[in-house]
Amino acid sequence: MRRGLVLFAALLLGVALAQGDVDPREEAKRQKELLLSTAGILPTELVVMQGEELFHRKGPSGKTMAECDFGLGKGVLEGAAARLPRYFLDTNRVEDLDSRIVTCMTRVQGFKPEEVKRDEVVAVAFYIASKSTGHKIQVRLLFPEERELYALGEKLFWARSGARDVGCATCHVSYVGRRAGVLPYADVLGKDKSWTHWPAYRYSNDQTWTMQDRIRACYGNIAHPQPALYSQPILALELYLAYHANGAVVEEWPAFVR
């Protein structure tokens, strides 16, 4: 009897382990289909619609975001997000999707910086990113500002710090992970092309994240103070990762992930 119970417990544990082992991509696909069949619409689509409304809302200056240049000319959104981050002459700095939306809201639409709401920026990012589904990532290092930021991103990515002496590469480059005896989570520079997984809706905690949120959360993993949203370290790491994803096709933006 005892023996039977132990066996049963071992069996249950085996099932639990097997469930923890499910390929996260496969599991996300399953969750997505489940949601679609019950709700008929995905949270990503709702946020994209919300972003589209905000895009066409007039700011204090009377202008909508169609007056803004996201890199390919005023109001051109098709494929624009797949080419970010990039250097912008009008601000004289490299901007990613999030920061360019903030620039648009403040410089063109006339919002005060403190009036810019993060959830609105994310919704607009979802909408603009949706116009790059099917496009190839094409990020260049043409301007000295881009090359400098890339170099900073590279430095930050390979740096190790803290009591545990870890950095991004410890968890995210498969050969480093193997050498250190740590399971690699995602090979963010290699075949995974993680860049194209964000912005995304995370069904596990019902959150909408851009790449900025993803990187900031990972800074938490290394017990390192999180750099602020829109700050140089975040932009630098984004440029570094985006450049390594060059040529990858965006399967679906915004993505639907765990």
Residue 218: active-site member: yes
Residue 125 near residue 209, CB atoms below 8 Å: no
Whether residue 140 is annotated as binding a ligand: the answer is no
Q: Does 42 bind ligand HEC (CB under 6 A)?
A: no
User: In Å, how far from its chain's centre is CA 130?
Assistant: 13
Question: Which of these segments, 92-100, 113-121, 142-150, 165-173, binds ligand HEC (CB under 6 A)?
Answer: 165-173
Q: Does 168 bind ligand HEC (CB under 6 A)?
A: yes
Q: Does 248 bind ligand HEC (CB under 6 A)?
A: no
Q: Does 245 bind ligand HEC (CB under 6 A)?
A: no
Catalytic option among 35, 49, 218, 229 = 218
Residue 105 near residue 111, CB atoms below 8 Å: yes
- Fill in the amino acid letter for 116: V
Among 32, 86, 172, 202, binds ligand HEC (CB under 6 A): 172
DSSP letters, the chain, are -HHHHHHHHHHHHHHHHHHHTS-HHHHHHHHHHHHHHHHSS-HHHHHHHHHHHHHTS--TTS--GGGSBSSSSBT--TTTGGG-SEEETTTTEEE-HHHHHHHIIIIIS---GGG--HHHHHHHHHHHHHTTTTPBP-----SHHHHHHHHHHHHHHH--BTTTTB-HHHHHSHHHHHHHT---S--TTTTT-GGGG-SEEETTTTEEE-HHHHHHHHHHHTT-PPPPTT-HHHHHHHHHHHHHTTT-B---SSEEE-
Among 215, 236, 248, 250, binds ligand HEC (CB under 6 A): 215
Q: Does 46 bind ligand HEC (CB under 6 A)?
A: no
Q: Closer to ligand HEC by CB, 10 or 22: give it.
A: 22
Whether residue 86 is annotated as binding a ligand: the answer is no
- CB of 25: closest distance to ligand HEC in angstroms? 9
Question: Which of these segments, 32-40, 53-61, 88-96, 164-172, binds ligand HEC (CB under 6 A)?
Answer: 164-172
Q: Does 24 bind ligand HEC (CB under 6 A)?
A: yes
Q: Closer to ligand HEC by CB, 166 or 239: give it.
A: 166
- CB of 154: closest distance to ligand HEC in angstroms? 11
Binding site for ligand HEC (CB under 6 A): 24, 166, 168, 170-172, 185-186, 188, 192, 194, 197, 214-215, 218-219, 221-222, 237, 241, 258
Binding-site residue numbers are 68, 104, 168, 171-172, 214, 218
